[in-house]
Chain A
Amino acid sequence: MHIMIKTEHLTKEYGGQKAVDDLDLQVDLGATFGFLGPNGAGKTTTIRILTTLTRPTSGRAWINGFDVVSESSEVKGEFGIVQQHLSLNRELTVRENLDLHARLHHLDRAERRERIDELLDYVDLLEYADHLIDRISGGMKRRVMIARALIHRPRLLILDEPTVGLDAQTRRRIWDLIRRMNSDGTTVFLTTHYIEEAEALCDRVGIIHQGHIISLGSPLELRRHLGLTTVELRSEGNNTEYRYFPDRTTAAKYVQTLPSSAENIVMRESNLEDVFVELTGRRVCE
């Protein structure tokens, strides 16, 4: 299998503190990979290294076989990125923002015109092409950022919290777009705070905590490893205890052993959030 992202012993220190610590990661071509971790876990630093913005302290990283330090020019042509914050030029129109990015990636005039129209159509923003960025909604801005990231036909799309701050309807629209890009052959590397987003989109997930990957696999594999069924036991003080079981039958047998006075027992399917909390001891947004 062709590898799109690879890191070996990747480490980044800031003033003696390790933001990324001996990180080994591999993302295959065509995958949709979810990179989950609490704030400060090292997600953004990893992305900054992969996108050539930050030099690693030690270890190496490759994008499509190109070393991010010694072959940074080649790496820059391989990926497109949608950053968490709005990084569009707000004083330019939608079309001008795409045009600037196309120029920076050396597309000629005819190619630029064709590609911009094609992408505006792809993200359903053709009628807003000549609107200033400040005059369009948050969801539209995010779609412009996705279109911009795709303008030079990158083989890898890095999405850093692509739906943060968007309403549920817009978020689903962005999800559809991500699925469509992936089915068109683009490898997707995604960080998100929304566990349901990772479950809905990713075929593999890596959980990063304190700079290392602590778990890696498909959402089903990770859930299976924890136990596919969760029993929640809520005590009087509203503290909830979680127990994990390989299947509903085992979980049901456990529930039957509980005293008959026990109330507030919930049996449900485990989800990635359970995996995440058990592994990191924290909720995703903490």
Chain B
Amino acid sequence: MIVMEAYAILWADLMVLKRRIGRYLTTTLISPVLYLVAFGWGLGRGISVDGASYFEFVVPGIIALTAMNSSFNGAGTRLNVDRLYFKSFDECLMAPISHLSLLLGKAMIGVVRGLISSIAFVMVALLISPAFSIGPLFLVSLLLTCLTFAFLGVLAALLARSHEDMATFGSLILLPMTFLGGTFFSVSQVPAALKLVLYALPLTHSSMCLRAAALDQSFPWGSLLAVGCFWLVFFIGCTLVLKRASV
């Protein structure tokens, strides 16, 4: 029953996505490709990090970043608009479905969008440099990353009282994470005190998992567990906020 109800919510968002898939794919690739050109080819030419060329090093980081942004915005921004602008979220709250189904349905579109964007970027990156591998650990890490940031998006959208709040959340949380989350540099190179701060960011662990899986390095199982814990915290947060907000 929960799966069917969650799919009902997801279905509507999938219909919208289907109608806009061409435009979505084009716009979703702009930002990661620009990062790739600026950091991979421009700044990182001739540099090597942790035994790999900087280009190979940065691609998994940009995949993590793409997964984060697309999942967060795919779930959060849509929910924020549905809740505060279209007011159509109330229709879901008034339907005889469980809160769990509602949360899953709203988060799943973030996961779908995150996976589409990341896979599209992987294809572009593979065309340029086929030097990394995509195995089960890479896919599990990517899926967990999308799930975690989709739920973070849902949580932010449920807490936001205006569209401005979502933008503020992006500036205060996502933007610092973009540059500090181990995307463009190795966390092993930073001082110990800063390292502690960086490990408190979910993107750091996602980048480490995806990078290790893509470059066939020793896999950081602790980081995979950390991403799972972040997902759990965001999921519990969503459940509590939704419960507090309604009967």
**Given A52-B247, A54-B247, A55-B247: A92 in contact with B16 (beta carbons within 8 A):** yes
B246 within 8 A of A: yes
Complex: how many Å from CA A76 to CA B5?
15
**Given A51-B94, A76-B96, A77-B96: A96 in contact with B247 (beta carbons within 8 A):** no
CB-based contact B16/A53 at 8 Å? no
CB proximity of A157 to chain B, nearest CB, Å: 13
CB-based contact A81/B94 at 8 Å? yes
- A53: chain B residues within 8 A (beta carbon): 90, 93-94, 246-247
- B94: chain A residues within 8 A (beta carbon): 51-53, 76, 81
CB-based contact B247/A68 at 8 Å? yes
- A85: chain B residues within 8 A (beta carbon): 87
- B82: chain A residues within 8 A (beta carbon): 89
Query: Which among A51, A54, A91 is the interface contact of B19 at CB below 8 angstroms?
Result: A91
A218 within 8 A of B: no
Interface locus among B7-15, B46-54, B116-124: B7-15
Complex: how many Å from CA A101 to CA B11?
11
Interface size of A in residues (CB-CB distance below 8 Å): 28
A105 within 8 A of B: yes
CB proximity of A209 to chain B, nearest CB, Å: 26
CB proximity of A75 to chain B, nearest CB, Å: 9
- B96: chain A residues within 8 A (beta carbon): 73, 76-77, 104-106
CB-based contact B86/A87 at 8 Å? yes
CB proximity of A134 to chain B, nearest CB, Å: 11
Query: Which among A54, A69, A91, A100 is the interface contact of B8 at CB below 8 angstroms?
Result: A100
CB proximity of B21 to chain A, nearest CB, Å: 13
B167 within 8 A of A: no
B89-117 interface mask toward A, CB cutoff 8 Å, 1 = contact, 0 = none?
01111111100000000000000000000
A180 within 8 A of B: no
A88 within 8 A of B: yes
A280 within 8 A of B: no
Complex: how many Å from CA A51 to CA B94?
7
CB-based contact B91/A96 at 8 Å? no
B217 within 8 A of A: no
Complex: how many Å from CA A251 to CA B5?
63
- B87: chain A residues within 8 A (beta carbon): 83, 85-87
CB-based contact A103/B11 at 8 Å? yes
B1-44 interface mask toward A, CB cutoff 8 Å, 1 = contact, 0 = none?
00011011101100110010000000000000000000000000
A-B contact list, 28 entries, CB within 8 Å: A51-B94, A52-B94, A52-B247, A53-B246, A53-B247, A54-B246, A55-B246, A69-B247, A72-B247, A76-B95, A76-B96, A81-B94, A83-B87, A86-B87, A87-B86, A87-B87, A89-B16, A90-B86, A92-B16, A96-B12, A100-B11, A101-B95, A103-B7, A104-B8, A104-B97, A106-B4, A106-B5, A106-B96
Q: Which B residues form the contact surface with A (CB < 8 A)?
A: 4-5, 7-9, 11-12, 15-16, 19, 82, 86-88, 90-97, 246-247
What 18 additional pairs, Cβ within 8 angstroms, besides A100-B12, A104-B97? A51-B94, A53-B246, A54-B246, A54-B247, A77-B96, A85-B87, A87-B86, A87-B87, A87-B91, A88-B88, A89-B82, A90-B86, A91-B16, A92-B15, A100-B11, A104-B8, A104-B91, A105-B96
